[in-house]
Structure 1
Amino acid sequence: MGLPHPDLTDRILGGWLGRVAGNMLGKPVERGDHWTRERIDRYLRRTDALPLTDYLPEPPADAGVGEFELRPEWRRCVRGRIHGSCRDDDVDYTILGLHLLETHGFDFTTEQVGEAWLLHLPFLQTFTAERAAYRNLANGLKPPVTATHDNPYQEWIGALIRADIFGWTSPGAPRRAAGLARRDAVLSHTGNGVYGAMWAAALIAAAFTADTPRQAIDAALEHIPAGSRLARTVRHTTALHDSGTPWSETLTVLAAQTGHLSWIHTVPNAAVITAGLLYGSGDFTSTITLTVRGGLDTDSNGATAGSVAGVLCGAAAIPAQWTDPLEDRLSSAVFGFDGVRISELAERTVRLASHS
């Protein structure tokens, strides 16, 4: 869609690598009710890791009981211990989306999304809204009822984390990307949950032709309802940034407005992603580290911000400390994909994007 093939290849590989690296960076501290911004920065100061320019360090030997409760997988996700990526749903759904497009093309239906889940994704590797929708599918319900029946997580972040593949395969076409993401999202989400997926897909698609993160953010806003809580929150984030408000103070102001929502809800997490992109100013390392230091759903936010930043700068410009430990290899719960090379997934994505 207007990008020279070598540039498209570098940008899409940048998106994949950025997503995986951002996810790995945030994974050890993914629990927003415990890992507040303040606790994350206290951890970094205790481990002499501020400013943060690499994966998280191991926990300090003198940490008190319960002071820093990292996720059980932390030993595979901290600097010096990473040999390929950990398995995570933030990447599993990206792989599954690629398989969906390869199998059904860009005219896929929401029903086919559900079928792909049942065929290729273990039930116990689904969470919140996705688990509710999966259960509804297994019980014979059809979309859109799969999103609304016995599902209190309809506006949480799950659909947003599934959206990258639709952005990568719609380079420079945010409206198209948002439409594809919506068709996927309505299987499990409603309202701002769906808008979050549309926004993320449009944001990534726009990053292929944007000169700055702000241009991509502005373009993405055109493809979700202007009066939605999500759009209002993203606009407020950009206004605070434009006014010269420091990053930490911006997140404090936004948290005061959205703090009544779950730490997995789409709206507060979109604010953290937006702030990371704006204050990161197009620098890959600054973008993903600020985003993860922003707290809430750290691995999901790091993954989305890393995807946007990776598309903006391209794979060749991502510093080696983020990509070398990944060893071009993914762990995945999606049947048939465990151990797949990241570069292979990127090549397959380029083929789809080139012929879409």
Structure 2
Amino acid sequence: MTPVGTAGTTGPALADRVLGGWLGRIAGNMLGKPVEQGEVWTRDRIDGYLRRAGALPLTDYLPEPATEEDRGRLRPEWRRCVRGRVHGSCRDDDVDYAILGLDLLETHGFAFTTEQLGDLWLLRLPYLQTFTAERVAYRNLAGGIRPPLTATYDNPYQEWIGALIRADVYGWTSPGAPRRAAALARRDAVLSHTGNGVYGAMWSAALIAAAFTAPTVRGALEEALAVIPASSRLARTVRRVTALHDTGLSWADTLATIGGETSGLGWIHTVPNAAVLTAGLLYGDGDFTRTIALTVRGGLDTDSNGATAGSVAGVLTGARAIPAHWTDPLEDTVHSAVFGFDGVRISELAERTVRLVET
């Protein structure tokens, strides 16, 4: 691969942006993890929780719950994810797949095949740390089914968000090249997804790649839309959020409108989550804290959306511009279920990612 020759995609600037992506993904994931259950933690309930704890506007990791009722609704991991208790990242699939993608590219290079990805899953990823479409694809692989049938056989989750959360590394290693990032993400996504599930991965990877060089968040979103079919429901929904934002509608009213238009898809489907993510990015307007806070407050798959929003915002700002109260508690440490990576340094992951770009 030839290094991309655009300002901000080489040398120290590239390293800072890539580290920003890793840190942003992990911090955003940690922010959203305690309230990751979209049918329970609606936007209103999340804001009620924050209001009772005196934490609106949200500017830091979630506060400890103010009531026993709130405590009982949180995910069990909350004690390691709320402010004052964060010591390194919690293990989570939203970070595991970024690590696994890095391992894939280091092992097989950018010409990797979907079959090689499947083999790496079986080698590196514990079955019980996979969910929905990924678990189905894993089971199919173990049963001797090969891609692309792994995505379609007995799989009701083909358009859910799993492939989107696996796409970051393809954006980080394709700075300023969104179409290249999308092509890599598609090769990964078809192991477990079809339709909007695949388009979500392509869009997310392209969005992150575009964030290295686009002058604004809006510019990055426009570049990312260009890599997926304009008639897809995903593209139409992202354009709809953008149009509502442009009318001056509030963030809350925009999400209420889109929520009505995507009702019935479920809280883990790619399309409504992409809407929450798009709104967080647009209304966050390049500010790291505001972007991940609004995205998590938007509900649905909060940890996945917070992670992707943090990745985009972290690339846009660079690591040095991310406020220390997000990064210091991470202690430069990742806990991961990916075999051989538990306890790895975030800085090491970023350095290895940059080496791939410069190969």
Q: TM-score, normalised by structure 1?
A: 0.98
Would you say how many aligned residue pairs link Structure 1 and Structure 2? Answer: 353
**For each residue in 1:272-330, what CA deviation from the matched residue of structure 2 results, as whole angstroms up to 9, or x when unmatched?**
00000000010000000000000000000000000000000000000001000000000
Code of the residue aligned with 2:25 in structure 1: it is R
| Aligned-residue offset at 1:68 | 5.3
Partner of 2:102: 98
Which of 1, 9, 19 is equivalent to 2:15? 9
* Pairing of 1:172-321 with structure 2 (within 5 A): 172-321=176-325
- Determine if the alignment matches structure 1 residue 139 to structure 2 residue 143: yes
Equivalent-residue separation in structure 1 for 2:341 and 2:71 (angstroms): 36
Which of 18, 41, 57 is equivalent to 1:35? 41
| Aligned-residue offset at 1:63 | 3.3
Which secondary structure does the structure 2 equivalent of 1:107 belong to? coil
Equivalent-residue separation in structure 2 for 1:213 and 1:55 (angstroms): 23
| Aligned-residue offset at 1:337 | 0.2
Instruction: Check the 8 A contact 1:255/1:268 in 2, yes or no.
Output: yes
Instruction: Check the 8 A contact 1:17/1:310 in 2, yes or no.
Output: yes
**For each residue in 1:172-214, what CA deviation from the matched residue of structure 2 results, as whole angstroms up to 9, or x when unmatched?**
0000000000000000000000000000000000000011110
RMSD of equivalent CA atoms = 0.8
Partner of 2:122: 118
Which secondary structure does the structure 1 equivalent of 2:115 belong to? helix
Instruction: Check the 8 A contact 2:171/2:205 in 1, yes or no.
Output: yes
Which of 32, 41, 45 is equivalent to 2:51? 45
Instruction: Check the 8 A contact 1:59/1:68 in 2, yes or no.
Output: no
Equivalent-residue separation in structure 1 for 2:169 and 2:88 (angstroms): 21
Partner of 1:63: 68
**For each residue in 1:55-75, what CA deviation from the matched residue of structure 2 results, as whole angstroms up to 9, or x when unmatched?**
001111x333x7750000100
| Aligned-residue offset at 1:259 | 1.4
Which of 331, 354, 358 is equivalent to 1:354? 358
Which of 24, 28, 34 is equivalent to 1:18? 24
Partner of 1:78: 82
Instruction: Check the 8 A contact 2:65/2:71 in 1, yes or no.
Output: no
Equivalent-residue separation in structure 2 for 1:137 and 1:243 (angstroms): 47
Equivalent-residue separation in structure 2 for 1:340 and 1:296 (angstroms): 29
Change (3 A) 1:257 1:67: farther
Equivalent-residue separation in structure 2 for 1:44 and 1:63 (angstroms): 14
Which of 158, 161, 165 is equivalent to 1:161? 165
- Determine if the alignment matches structure 1 residue 54 to structure 2 residue 60: yes
Equivalent-residue separation in structure 2 for 1:72 and 1:63 (angstroms): 14
Code of the residue aligned with 1:254 in structure 2: it is I
Extract structure 1 runs of 4+ deviating beyond 2 A.
none
Partner of 2:326: 322
Instruction: Check the 8 A contact 2:295/2:309 in 1, yes or no.
Output: yes
Equivalent-residue separation in structure 2 for 1:214 and 1:307 (angstroms): 16
| Aligned-residue offset at 1:102 | 0.1
Structure 2's unaligned 5+ residue stretches are: none
Structure 1's unaligned 5+ residue stretches are: none
**For each residue in 1:70-104, what CA deviation from the matched residue of structure 2 results, as whole angstroms up to 9, or x when unmatched?**
00010000000000000000000000000000000
Instruction: Check the 8 A contact 2:234/2:274 in 1, yes or no.
Output: yes
**For each residue in 1:13-56, what CA deviation from the matched residue of structure 2 results, as whole angstroms up to 9, or x when unmatched?**
00000000000000000000000000000000000000100000
Code of the residue aligned with 1:180 in structure 2: it is L
| Aligned-residue offset at 1:4 | 3.0
Which secondary structure does the structure 1 equivalent of 2:180 belong to? helix
Code of the residue aligned with 2:89 in structure 1: it is S
**For each residue in 1:233-255, what CA deviation from the matched residue of structure 2 results, as whole angstroms up to 9, or x when unmatched?**
00000000011000000000000
